[in-house]
Structure 1
Amino acid sequence: MNKKGSGAVRIGIGGWSYEPWRGSFYPAKHPQKRELEYASRRLTSIEINSTYYRAQTPEVYAGWYEQTPDSFVFSVKAPRYATHRKVLADAGETIERFLAGGLTELKHKLGPVNWQFMPSKVFDADDFEAFLKLLPKNLDGLPLRHAVEVRHDSFLTPEFIALAREYAVAVVTGADSKHPFIADVAAPFVYVRLMGTQHDEPLGYPAKVLAQWAERAKTWAGGATPSDLPRLAPKLPDTAGRDVYLYVIAGNKVSNPQAAMSLIERVN
């Protein structure tokens, strides 16, 4: 969805190579080397997870660009080596190496970068701000959007939201997980990860829940704030619109593509 006066809503899954999707999402005997091509024509975005574990080459990023439609957008999970450290202020070299490793080959298909932190990482305002200062606004002329996924209860404070807003960094809304649920809008875009698809639901979630998230996505895209979600800080003023990135991750992973496609239908 990208109505006049609103942001775009991008919906997808995490990664595209998963054996149980072969025959349930991908047709039987569909070539594995063409799975991204297939998925990107049924979803509007994918969160690349492999970058969290290992560096990719510019050639790999360029290949992903070539296999996907012009309107498709990737989110990229930043390497754990940048965020899994005691002193975040020391992450500069790792951040620079990751950003210079070929991301620009995604060109206009590059969406937000998700910086995920360990569940044991405690909020320290000074050190976290030092990390945020290391995140550049652009890369070789390509605008960058950053999101932070925090997973310790110490981040459940208005001070954290204020800091994210100061640097226009989105706070990932991770729903249906054991980690903190934070739904405050902190940036000109919204980043959501739904992590609770269920084994007994053909679409991963009950229809009522999918409808709720579709409505929330449309509200965010329209520039407003959903009234049914908790906040740690005062809501931001309404705007002309915000882009929304929503991924169905984890849970009963085999049903995640179905949940994402159902959300796309509801949003549209």
Structure 2
Amino acid sequence: MGAPHLYIGCAGWGIGRELAAEFPGDGTHLQRYALRLSGVEINSSFYRPHRRTTYERWAQAVPRDFRFSVKVPKVITHERRLAGCETELDTFLEQCSGLGERLGCLLVQLPPSLAYDEAVARVFFKQLRDRFSGSVVLEPRHSSWVNAQPLLTTWQIAQAAVDPSRIKTDGAPRGAPGTQYWRLHGSPRIYHSPYGPDYLKNLAMQLRTVEAEHVWCIFDNTASGAALVDALTLSDWLEA
């Protein structure tokens, strides 16, 4: 296996005034962001739909090797709870396919109340795989999903490594081995705390040795602006 494709970025591409100098040049925040970082996670798709033309515009704004991870809508994961959602799935995939080759991954984040039901999960993953052949990453947050590993392997679904950890199997990437995905929310204060240099150096060393085709590290500690700093630091160390 050759060197993995590394996608380092944040949950969103907003650039605060205090970091504007790190993203020089003209253009939109996305255009400037994509000149420094290699990937981004679209979280807004979880809350509301976007037109296909919006995704197309985003794809045209970034370099050819930049990739988007797109969060599956909550109507599928939290309201339908993975069941009876073929229509919603078709609508979502038609929209985000506007990203074309820059669509790097789908993120399926589950609510903490959603326990593992093998029959429901099998049907959902089959429906998803009938429609989408690219990378899919699951972020379960109910402890019963520790039993899902065989099904994830069957349907080539990766499981995210999450910090802070929610269940005993999310401390490291699991599931299908082709994609590994770190989703870092900030610790000890979730969504706010930055990751210190020791953590980021150790993470960079770990990412350099990963045996996977696609490797993602997304910082979701965006509430106080730490995510961009952490992503830039990690990206610089990986490039050094």
What TM-score comes out, normalization by structure 2 length? 0.87
**Equivalent residues of 1:65, 1:109 under 8 A apart:** yes
Match of 1:165 among 131, 146, 153: 153
Structure with the largest fraction of helix: 2
Residues 16-95 of structure 1: pairs in structure 2 closer than 5 A:
16-17=13-14, 21-27=15-21, 34-85=28-79, 88-95=82-89
**Hey, what's the Cα distance between the residues in 1 that align with 2:38 and 2:20?**
16
What TM-score comes out, normalization by structure 1 length? 0.79
Partner residue in 1 for 2:215: 244
Count residues in correspondence: 233
**Hey, what's the Cα distance between the residues in 2 that align with 1:198 and 1:66?**
37
**Hey, what's the Cα distance between the residues in 2 that align with 1:185 and 1:87?**
22
Identity %: 25
**Hey, what's the Cα distance between the residues in 2 that align with 1:67 and 1:198?**
35
Query: Does residue 1:112 correspond to 2:105, yes or no?
Result: yes
Partner residue in 1 for 2:114: 121
**Equivalent residues of 2:160, 2:174 under 8 A apart:** no
Amino acid in the other structure paired with 2:216: Y
**Hey, what's the Cα distance between the residues in 1 that align with 2:169 and 2:18?**
30
Match of 1:185 among 174, 178, 193: 174
Match of 2:127 among 106, 124, 134: 134
Partner residue in 1 for 2:162: 174
Partner residue in 2 for 1:13: 10
Unpaired segments ≥5 residues, structure 1: 224-240
Cα deviation for residue 266 of structure 1 reads 1.7
The CA deviation string for residues 77-119 of structure 1, in whole angstroms up to 9 with x for no partner, is 1111011146523121111111112x22211111110011111
